[in-house]
Every structure is written in C-alpha cells, then in structure tokens.
Structure 1
C-alpha cells in the first residue's frame, strides 16, 4: 500500500538516521515482529526488556511507513468520546480504556528517559474546543464524565477560551493536563538502536511474501525465497496489517498535514503551546515543534485510492494554511512542508490487539486511530504478556471478539 506522499516532516527533519542490514542466513527464531515503525519498535522494546530474542522484518526502510508521516500528538482522548464509549461498552470498560491511555503517556515518558538522546518529547496540555455553539452541551457532558472518573480537566467558558485563544470559535473548551508530543521518527530509531544493543536483530528492505501458520510455529517466505521459521509472529504493520485478516476491522481514510517555517518568537506560539483540536468530525488539530514551527492537520477524506488522495493534497494544504492564519493571525505562518497519508479507524475508536483463531501463533497490533502511539504502548504490553503466557486483564477490551 502507498501510505504517504509529499514531504513528511519528521523524515525531512532527521534524514536517514541509521542503516539496517538485510537478513543473511537466519536460524529459527523465538519471535519475529513484522513492521519497523513505531508499533514494531515499541513491541520489540517490550519483548527485549523481558529477555525475549526478537527479529524484526520491515519491507521499507525503518520508520518510513506511516511513522514518518505521523503528527505525533500523544493524547489520552480516544476518537470516540468517553460518553459515547460508555454507551457502547459500559462505564467500567470505557473508563478503563481512557485510564490506560493516560497511563501510556507516562510510560512513553519513562521509556524516553531510559533511552536518553534527543527525541523532542515534551509533556503538554491539550485543548478540546467546541467547533460550533451546538456542540457545547455535548462537550459539557464529556467534561463531566471525565471529571467524574478523575481525569485532570478544566472547563473553559466562552470568556476564558477567548482570553487565551482570541480567534478560535467563541464557544467553550475542555483543557486537559495530560498530553505530550514527540518526534516519533527519532523515537522509533532510538528504540530499535537500544534493542539492537541488547541483542535484537533488525532488518529492513525485506518483504515477507508468504506466511504459513502451523500448530507449533510460523514459516515466513521472503521475496528472495528465503525461509524464516519462528515460534511466534507479531504483525505490527500498521494500516497494512488488515491485509492479513479475513475479518474487516478498520476503515481507511486519507489525512493531510502541513508544517510552517520556524517562527522567530521567544515566547510560546500560543497558550503553553498546548495541543489543540476540535469537536467537528473530521477534526482539525494543531501543535508546535521544538524549533517553533506550527503543525496543523486534518481535512480527512474517505480513502479510495492513493491517486485520488494525492490529487487533493495541494487544495487541502491551502485549506489548512487558511485555517492556521484564521485561528492565529498574529503568527507569521508560511508553509514549509506538506504531506498526506492513509490511516485507519475502527468502529469504536479502539485498536484491535491479540490473536485470531484463523492464524495460530500469531498476534496482531492494528486499527490505531488518532492516538495510535499510545495504543502501540498498550499493544506492546498486552502481546508481550500473551507471548509469555501471562494473563493481561485489559486484553479483552481490545480483543477481536469484543
């Protein structure tokens, strides 16, 4: 699948950070992870930390799929609001799903601190504003539900929102204390470099042509006819993972993003450089970068083909720049990079994590929406437990038969 087009910011910023080999003769493996993006990197990290030997296979260069196009907002908010998720799965499960995402932000922070190096990780606040006056009542219900379960949130009425963000719609907003942002491309390479130092094997530009599932393991046939046998297989190929399932679990969309040139301002670009997003669907979202750029994304369309997606990129980029200038007219916004990509959403906004009966000895981590990096943390925890035979009480929340 053609996942990206244009100029993905993280790739242009960082370039080809590290080189990884193609596999030579490979002995039978304990665990193979298919996918060299952030999901595969976190999966490899969790398994490596448990002392489990891991071999990674990536058909592109490492981090060059959806990861290089991610806008890397780390938000506990699931694309399905808490009040709606409660209607779908009940209070206990919905609140647990949100709580796990909050915990995942702290776990990303702990991993970054352990790895060291520079991945531009920063804790942030997050502002979720009502796009229209009619959305305020639903937003207030959402605020009440989050406050009730103990999430650190504040309610901003029209006046407070206008005081801090004069040009956003004069409605109301939820301000959350728990959010973060990161350079996800750098983080992916930092994770893999750490794992390689601990004995993991990471190979890229190698394509798995065929997968054969057996009772005692899995055989992978590569595009050069080489065979690799493994006891356990983890498919962490992002939005392409759906190709390995007969059950349709994700809907594909095209999304667009632009990033400005650096702005020569000493102060934050806006209130605490918080992450900003809206209640409208599809939604706009905005963040800053470590070098004082503004990133704005959204304008999603239902995905039909990469050709149709790419034809819209110039128009969508102009629309995003118009929104940036409208909401922040005092900023000297000039587009520096623009790109578009394909992403997936699920029926309830939650990922699919775990195994399916049709593929023995195989685990899936897929169906990530707007906060896919945090879902990748959950997938890494759950699947690493399952591989070790440990019962993870949260696995049922994201199971394929939920």
Structure 2
C-alpha cells in the first residue's frame, strides 16, 4: 500500500522486491545540449509516467528526465495496493475538515481508482492489474463499534461497502478479527510493469526521455529554466515535479513528513493457502499492517512503520528484525500461509499530517507544479495528480483542488 521514495540517489530502498520490468523498458537518452519543451516532467517513476501519458494524450509536447533508470527508484519498491480508502478514516478526516469535504475527498479517491483501472484496461497496459475488494480489519483501538460507526458514515457519503461482524467475517474470509468493512472498487498491479507501459505509451506519442538530474530551477521569467547536473538546461512552459519526497527548496509544507516501512513477500503459495478472492487487507490502526497477493501466488505483507528512521543504513540494519515481526504477524493473521520471506525490502515514504497528498501549483511559481505526500495511496494519488495538473496546465482550476493544495493550512 506504500510508495517508497529516496533521500539520495544511492538511498532509494533496501532489499529486493518481486516486481518485474515490463517487456519494453524505456531507455533514457543523454542530453548533450540545452533544449526547450512545452512540459518538463522531473521524475520517471509511476507519477511521472502517469503525467507523461496523460499530457501526451492531450497533445502536449513532453520531456521527462530522471537521474536513474525509469521506475527503479520508489516505484520498484511500491506494494501497489490501489485503494481508494485513505490513511485517515472518514471519521478522522471529517473531524478535521467537516463531513462534506471529507466525503468529497473519499469519493474523488474512489473515482481515481476507477479512472486508473479504465485507463489500463482500455490500453492493455498491465496484464497484472486485477480489480480487488478491500478488507479493513479491526485492529489496535478500533474494534467492532468503531468500524460500524465508520461504515455508517461511509454509507452517508454514498460509498460502497458492507460491515461484517466476527461471525460473518470468519465464515466469509476466515479472518479471526472482531469485525471488518469489506469494500469493492480497489485494485492491485505490478507497479514496475505499469510504470514502464505508461511511459512507453507516452514515448510512442512523442514524449522524450532523458538522463539527467535537476539541480536548479529559475522560474522568474515567462518560462522556467531547469539546470541539469551535466551543465545543460531545459526551458519549459510548465514544469511538473514528480520526485517522491525529495522536494527542492522552492517547495515547502508544514504538513509534510517522512517515515520508513518494511515489506516481505513469501514464496509462491498454493491456491488453498491464499485468502478469498485475493482481497487487499489492511488494519484500522495507526501503524497498520497491510497485505495483498500477487498473480504468481505470493503474499506481500508490510508495515512496522517508524517515523524516527529515515536513513537507508538504519532501515537495512533493522530489516532482519522487521522481517521476523512481519512473518509472525502473517502467521497470526493467516496461519495457512508458508511463513517464509523470499523477498524483503524497505524504504522511506512520504506522508502528511492529515493523510492527504500535496498536489498543485507551487506557491509563488505559477508554472511549476508538484505532487508529493501520498502516504499509503501512492498510485491512486499519482493518477489523481496527473488529472489535476493536466487541468491546471490547461488553465482550469476546480474548487476541490483546494483539498490538496500545497499551501493549505496545517491541521490544528
């Protein structure tokens, strides 16, 4: 459920994930001279790929730069659980911003997953994409009473789902928890294959992909000049920052923070060792456990989030202990699984105090756009960002964009 991101070029993630590169791996080309373009996208991961696909479909001239191979940073370490339910429950979000804004945000997230699913299916981009239900399990301080209240608020907001008590949950899914909310409308995918397919499609429409790291931004004129580490520069009418949580100095937010998470993937399991329908699993607790299956029968389970650990060396040092904890939690959650970690990885992830992303115009820089702070909804919010920023570049601004504004007021 998390999208992992980097602090430095050599500090992207630890360990190895099970995701595979797509059949057509986008290749960066060297940039030997300064150029001009209509839109420059900084970052060729899943956010940059979604942006490139959308803007080229709109007929824009697009260039994409990245300092490393496309998708091999944060995207390769994502768990790619495409959920519309966000890190803050609807109850929590309503307590911060009021019911109507919170309900609208949840409906926008639901629509984003549906839009992404349609995009992938209509273009035949990712055979690993599968629609999924989510099972939101009681956990921590959230028991049956709290989940029932959340379900009733979701019903009021027009959101789909059903409340399951302990007996029904056990009978239908064999999970031994006090209660759960089961909701349709989510999905799962191999994130690396999806990112490569999107970027390849954008390239076929004319997008250019270059090797380069942005080291400076000058947006004082009618266009923005982006200086690269090789001495060249790119002049663009619009610049989109899709660089994880590595934000340049011109982007600031009191809401933004970073943390670390750890993930393991089991060996291939038999069908009898997997839970019903391969549903996406997550817990109703602050530092929740999350789990999914893969097309080849693995179980991916993660969590153990820690906002005091960011450096890769510290994550690597903790990985054996975190993997052991996750295996123990897997055994308690689903005793039928073979409790062995064939893959283990970790990374820092970007989140915000209110659980909502930071998407939109960079304050003070009207032709510079950014997308950060995704938390556990990385690819869902990446899709939403591509549609928002596409409209902003077209000169269209909708009222609901304020929910995700980079300069929105901090939560009190």
Query: What TM-score does the superposition give when structure 1 sets the normalisation length?
Result: 0.94
Task: Quote the Cα distance in structure 2 between the aligned partners of 1:188 and 1:328.
Answer: 31
Give the alignment partner of residue 8 of structure 1, picking from 13, 17, 21.
17
Q: Please name the residue that 2:3 is paired with.
A: none
Match of 2:149 in 1: 141
1:48 aligns to 2:56 (yes or no): yes
- 1:165 deviates by 4.0
Report Cα offsets for 1:23-72 as digits up to 9, x if no partner.
Answer: 23343111100011111111111111110111001111100111110000
Q: Structure 2 vs 1, CA of residues 14 and 41 (structure 1 numbering), >3 Å: closer, same or farther? A: closer
CA distance in 1, matches of 2:73, 2:60: 26
Structure 1 segments, 4+ long, off by >4 Å, are 13-16
Aligned partner of 2:392 among 382, 386, 389: 386
- Structure 2 CA distance for partners of 1:166 and 1:283, relative to 1, 3 Å: same
Q: 1:299 aligns with which of 299, 304, 310?
A: 304
Pick aligned residue for 1:214 from 220, 224, 236: 220
Q: What is the SS of the residue equivalent to 2:185? A: strand
Task: Give the aligned CA root-mean-square deviation in angstroms.
Answer: 1.8
- Aligned counterparts of 2:155 and 2:229: Cα–Cα separation in 1: 52
Contact kept, 8 Å, 1:76 with 1:105, in 2: the verdict is: yes
Q: Is the Cα–Cα contact under 8 Å of residues 242 and 249 in structure 1 kept in the other structure?
A: no
Alignment of 1:97-112 (within 5 A): 97-112=105-120
CA distance in 2, matches of 1:348, 1:122: 29
> Do the aligned partners of 1:167 and 1:326 also contact (CA within 8 Å) in 2?
no
- Unpaired stretches in structure 2, ≥5 consecutive residues: 1-6
How many aligned residue pairs are there?
398
Paired with 1:16 and 1:9, the residues of 2 have a C-alpha distance of: 18
Structure-2 residue corresponding to 1:179: 186
Structure 2 residue matching 1:112: 3-state secondary structure: helix
1:72 is aligned to 80
Distance 2:248 2:314 in 1: 21
Task: Work out the CA distance in 2 between the residues paired with 1:385 and 1:194.
Answer: 20
**How many angstroms apart in 2 are the aligned matches of 1:118 and 1:72?**
12
Q: Structure 1 residues 188, 133: CA separation in 2 closer, same or farther (over 3 Å shift)? A: closer
Counterpart check, 1:28 vs 2:36: yes
Structure 2 residue 358 is matched with structure 1 residue 352: yes
Closer/same/farther in 2, CA of residues 147 and 6 from structure 1, 3 Å limit:
same
Specify the alignment match of 1:329 in structure 2: 335
Closer, same or farther in 2 for the Cα pair 1:117/1:41, shift >3 Å?
closer
Please point out which of 265, 268, 276 is paired with 2:281.
276
Deviation at 1:357, TM superposition (A): 2.9
Give the whole-Å Cα distance in 1 for the aligned partners of 2:249 and 2:164.
44
